[in-house]
């Protein structure tokens, strides 16, 4: 499989006015994102995630090392037709409405007028902003701003999507919808690189992850491989009586196993919230 | 083979025309008058027509115009109308005989002030605010070069300032015609308005270029200082002429070559003295304004090319 992103020995040092090194934001990073996968970049604040995204987009330039995005340098202008970027906050022009903002970006992406108009309708529908399309973006709520930020990415229909904290500022329903959109992108063969510090979000949607700390790669790999504890076993059973549980405990201790806990599984607060809201609004999915 | 970018052609043309202009500047032979026309025409094409063939530049420029229209520009125009009519009413009474000259001079000063503030406020935030608000992050994720962003902003801002000063000129001239009639109308008034528009184009070019580096406040102060120095060129020539040290003279001469000569664009004193300019002077002035702007914007494009947009 070809790689969508190849980063080799990447270093980014921010310098002060006198050109003295001030901060090393990325320090010798090697990273590969394969085509067609959802890749999560995890790390605490200041770990270098956003800096990596800026380097991938050519917003800033590496101090050393090399970057290839869809087989070309980040400074390759033509290649950017294939790259979509949703920043951490939706940095968009407040004086324009949703229609105008998407038309503006569609024109920058050299989309013919007919296709542009059709795509704008489609993506506004996908992100649920069709009814607010004539409202100025400055008057949007944070959640709506995030949606329009995602809409400009979907408008391009790029092969590589870079998402910086995609669900920040969204309620659980909105966050769930964004996750569904990300999954659909993968189903259509798109590559997604998302940066987040929300671990649960990354775990549920990513194929592979990289954990960054202080600008360095701490761990990289398949989510299942990294999280599976091979020496432990979880059995989930329904309709069991108290006496049966004691028998199972005896069986485990008899076979030399070490019983860690017997518990009733609980729902996550997020899934409970989504379930309740959907019941109230009459939506099932 | 690598495609030659729009900006490469633009910068090469600007440098080429600057070199020819430098070569011909000291000469008063036959070539000079023809060059004045050729310079004005070729630079008009380079500055206004050539960039508009680029769809992305057109898109960015149009969005700048849209933003300016949606701002409270209309209120500024209303304030100007009130000011002009107020001046005509008050000064029309206290300066009998020469009211039209007195009011013309004051009106042109008001236009300079309004146009200058409008131009500096608008252009000095053009690029820096894109970085500050991070809107440039999304824009640069599209197939748009940094040079196209600078050029789009320049064209959009020039369009806005020309439209704005054009509206002020129409209001100003019409209010004078309304008050004093056609018999007192002088063509110099129209020339003065055109001269101011050219001055504003140069100011916008400087403000756009420095906005790739300086914050909004620093840029505003910087451009304002350049504006003042640009109006003091005659005084600077006078001072350097009296200095005996060669090194200081050379520094003064170099300074005069860098600083735009804004005093050339203002004809207020000439109106006062009853003097007039011919169309050739105006065309020469247009050539000067456009050449200066083209070179300055070329520098802006080169600076922004390697600017790290997250470092403010």
pLDDT tens-place string over residues A212-222 = 999 999 889 99
Residue-level pLDDT at B170: 92
Tokens of B285: 């002035």
A87 chain-B contacts, CB cut-off 8 A: 134, 137-138
Give B269's pLDDT tier (boundaries 50, 70, 90): confident
Please check the confidence at residue B151 and state whether its pLDDT lies above 80: yes
Better-scored residue on pLDDT, B254 or A278:
B254
Euclidean distance between CA atoms B32 and B50, whole angstroms: 25
Q: Examine the pLDDT at B95 and tell me if it is beyond 70.
A: no
**Residues B39-72 pLDDT 10s:** 899 999 999 899 999 999 999 999 999 998 888 7
Q: Is the pLDDT of residue A265 over 80?
A: no
- pLDDT at residue A146 above 80? yes
What pairs with residue A222 in β-bridges?
A208
pLDDT in tens, A18-60: 889 999 999 999 999 999 999 999 888 889 999 999 999 999 9
Contact (Cβ atoms closer than 8 angstroms) between residue B117 and residue B167? no
Q: How far apart are CA A152 and CA A129, in angstroms?
A: 12
H or E stretch at A33: strand A21-34
Mutate to test the interface with A, among B56, B141, B145, B146 (most CBs of A within 10 A): B141
What's the pTM value of the predicted model, to 2 decimals? 0.89
B143 pLDDT tier (thresholds 50, 70, 90)? very high
- A152/B308 CB distance under 8 A: no
Asked if B308 and A110 come within 8 Å (Cβ–Cβ), the reply is no
Reported residue count of chain B is 312
Neighbours of B306 (CB within 10 A): 8
Hey, are the CB atoms on A109 and B145 less than 8 Å from each other? no
Q: Tell me how far apart the alpha carbons of residues A166 and A183 are, in angstroms, rounded to a whole number.
A: 13
Chain B residues near residue A60 by CB distance under 8 angstroms: 308-311
Contact B141 A61 (CB under 8 A): no
CA distance B2 to chain A (A): 12
- How much of chain A, in percent, has pLDDT values that exceed 90? 55
- Nearest Cα neighbor of B213 from B308, B122, B116 is B308
* Count of positions (residues) in chain A: 285
Task: State the burial class of residue B151 (Cβ atoms within 10 Å of its Cβ: 0-12, 13-18, 19+).
Answer: buried
B249-to-A220, B225, B245, B253 alpha-carbon distances in Å: 65, 21, 6, 6
Strands A208-213 and A38-42: parallel
Residue A246 has pLDDT above 70, yes or no: yes
Chain B contact residues (CB < 8 Å to A): 55-56, 59-60, 63, 66-67, 70-71, 133-145, 306, 308-311
Residue A96 is predicted with a pLDDT of: 93
pLDDT (0 to 100) of residue A1: 54
A/B interface, count of CB pairs below 8 Å: 78
Tell which of B139, B140, B142, B309 to mutate to test the A interface (max A CBs under 10 Å).
B142
Domain spans of chain B, in order of start = 6-231+266-311
Which of A216-225, A264-273, B94-103, B265-274 has the highest mean predicted lDDT (pLDDT)?
A216-225
The C-alpha atoms of residue B286 and residue B198 are separated, in whole angstroms, by 7
Q: What is the mean pLDDT of chain A?
A: 89
User: How many CB atoms within 10 Å of residue A60?
Assistant: 18
Rounded CA-CA distance B133/B51 in Å is: 26
Burial (CB count <10 Å: 0-12, 13-18, 19+), residue A266? exposed
pLDDT of residue B96: 65
Distance (Å) from the C-alpha of residue B204 to the closest C-alpha of chain A?
21
Torsion angle, alpha carbons of A126, B56, A70, A28, to 10: -110
Mutation target for B interface from A59, A74, A152, A193: give the one with most B CBs within 10 A.
Answer: A59
- Interface pTM, i.e. ipTM: 0.88
The more confident residue out of B168 and B91 is B168
- Give the E-state strand segments of A208-270 in sequence order: 208-213, 216-222
Please give the average per-residue pLDDT across B215-239, as a whole number.
Answer: 91
Contacts of B112 (CB under 8 A, 6+ apart): B196, B199, B266
Q: What percent of chain B has pLDDT over 70?
A: 95
Nearest to B264 by CA among B216, B211, B196, B185: B196
Task: For residues B101-119, give the mean pLDDT.
Answer: 87
- Give the pLDDT of residue A283: 57
Cα of A208 to nearest chain B Cα, Å: 24
pLDDT recorded at residue A111: 95
- Convert the pLDDT of each residue in B179-205 to its tens digit: 887 777 788 889 999 999 999 999 999
| pLDDT attached to residue B14 | 93
Residues B133, A54: C-beta atoms closer than 8 Å: no
- Local structure of residue A136 (DSSP, 8 states): B
Alpha helices (H) along chain B = 6-25, 31-44, 55-70, 73-94, 99-123, 126-132, 135-139, 146-180, 187-210, 216-230, 233-242, 246-258, 268-272, 279-305
Q: What angle do CA B280, B281, B282 make, to 5 degrees?
A: 90
Q: So what's the pLDDT on residue B29? A: 63
pLDDT bin (cut points 50, 70, 90) of residue A190 is very high
Q: Taking residues A241-246, what's their average pLDDT?
A: 82
Interchain contact, B138 vs A95, CB within 8 Å: no
Query: How far apart, in whole angstroms, are the C-alpha atoms of residue A146 and residue A204?
Result: 20
* Burial class of residue B257, CB neighbours in 10 A (0-12, 13-18, 19+): exposed
Minimal CA separation from B140 to chain A, in Å: 7
User: What pLDDT shows up at residue B16?
Assistant: 92
Which two tokens mark A46?
């200041």
Q: What is the mean pLDDT of residues A84-110?
A: 91
Q: Which residue has the tokens 């320090």?
A: A27
Average pLDDT, chain B: 88
Q: Hey, how many other C-beta atoms are within 10 angstroms of the C-beta on A216? A: 15
Predicted confidence (pLDDT) at residue B2 exceeds the cutoff of 70: no
């Amino acid at each position: 499989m070809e790689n969508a992103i190849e980063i080799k020995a990447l270093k980014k040092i921010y310098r002060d006015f006198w050109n003295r090194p001030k901060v090393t934001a990325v320090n010798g990073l090697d990273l590969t994102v394969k085509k067609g996968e959802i890749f999560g970049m995890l790390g605490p604040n200041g770990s270098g995630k956003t800096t990596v995204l800026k380097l991938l987009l050519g917003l800033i330039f590496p101090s050393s090392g090399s970057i290839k995005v869809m087989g070309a340098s980040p400074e390759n202008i033509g290649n950017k037709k294939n790259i979509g970027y949703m920043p951490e906050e939706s940095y968009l022009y407040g004086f324009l409405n949703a229609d105008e903002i998407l038309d503006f970006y569609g024109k920058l992406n050299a989309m013919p007028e007919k296709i542009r108009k059709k795509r704008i309708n489609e993506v506004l529908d996908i992100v649920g902003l069709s009814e607010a399309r004539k409202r100025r973006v400055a008057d949007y709520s944070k959640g709506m701003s995030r949606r329009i930020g995602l809409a400009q990415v979907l408008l391009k229909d790029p092969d590589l999507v870079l998402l910086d904290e995609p669900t920040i500022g969204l309620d659980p329903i909105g966050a769930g919808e964004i996750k569904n959109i990300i999954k659909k992108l993968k189903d259509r063969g798109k590559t997604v690189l998302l940066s987040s510090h929300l671990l649960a979000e990354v775990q549920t949607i990513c194929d592979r992850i990289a954990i960054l700390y202080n600008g360095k790669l701490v761990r990289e790999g398949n989510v299942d491989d990294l999280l599976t504890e091979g020496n432990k076993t979880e059995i989930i059973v329904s309709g069991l009586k108290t006496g049966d549980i004691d028998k199972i405990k005896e069986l485990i201790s008899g076979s030399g196993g070490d019983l860690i806990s017997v518990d009733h599984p609980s729902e996550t607060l997020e899934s409970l919230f989504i379930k309740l809201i959907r019941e109230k609004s009459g939506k099932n999915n | 083979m690598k495609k030659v970018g729009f900006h490469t052609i633009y910068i090469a043309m600007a440098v080429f025309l600057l070199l020819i202009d430098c070569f011909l500047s000291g000469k008063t032979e036959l070539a000079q008058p023809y060059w004045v026309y050729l310079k004005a025409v070729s630079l008009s094409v380079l500055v206004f027509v050539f960039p508009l063939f680029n769809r992305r530049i057109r898109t960015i420029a149009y969005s700048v115009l849209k933003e300016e229209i949606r701002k409270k520009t209309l209120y500024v125009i209303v304030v100007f109308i009130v000011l002009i009519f107020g001046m005509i009413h008050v000064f029309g009474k206290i300066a009998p005989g020469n009211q039209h000259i007195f009011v013309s001079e004051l009106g042109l000063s008001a236009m300079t002030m309004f146009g200058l503030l409008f131009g500096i406020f608008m252009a000095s935030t053009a690029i820096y605010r894109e970085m500050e608000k991070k809107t440039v992050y999304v824009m640069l994720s599209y197939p748009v070069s940094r040079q196209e962003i600078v050029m789009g902003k320049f064209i959009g801002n020039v369009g806005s300032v020309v439209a704005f000063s054009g509206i002020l000129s129409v209001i100003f001239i019409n209010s004078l015609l309304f008050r004093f009639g056609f018999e007192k109308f002088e063509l110099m008034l129209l020339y003065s308005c055109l001269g101011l528009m050219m001055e504003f184009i140069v100011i916008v070019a400087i403000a756009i270029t420095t906005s790739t580096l300086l914050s909004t406040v620093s840029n505003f102060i910087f451009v304002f200082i350049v504006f003042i120095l640009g109006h003091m060129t005659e005084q600077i020539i006078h001072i350097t002429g009296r200095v005996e040290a060669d090194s200081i003279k050379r520094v003064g001469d170099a300074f005069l070559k860098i600083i735009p000569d804004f005093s050339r664009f203002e004809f207020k004193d000439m109106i006062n003295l009853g003097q007039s300019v011919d169309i050739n002077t105006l065309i020469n002035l247009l050539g000067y304004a456009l050449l200066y702007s083209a070179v300055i914007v070329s520098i802006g494009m080169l600076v922004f090319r390697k600017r790290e947009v997250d470092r403010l």
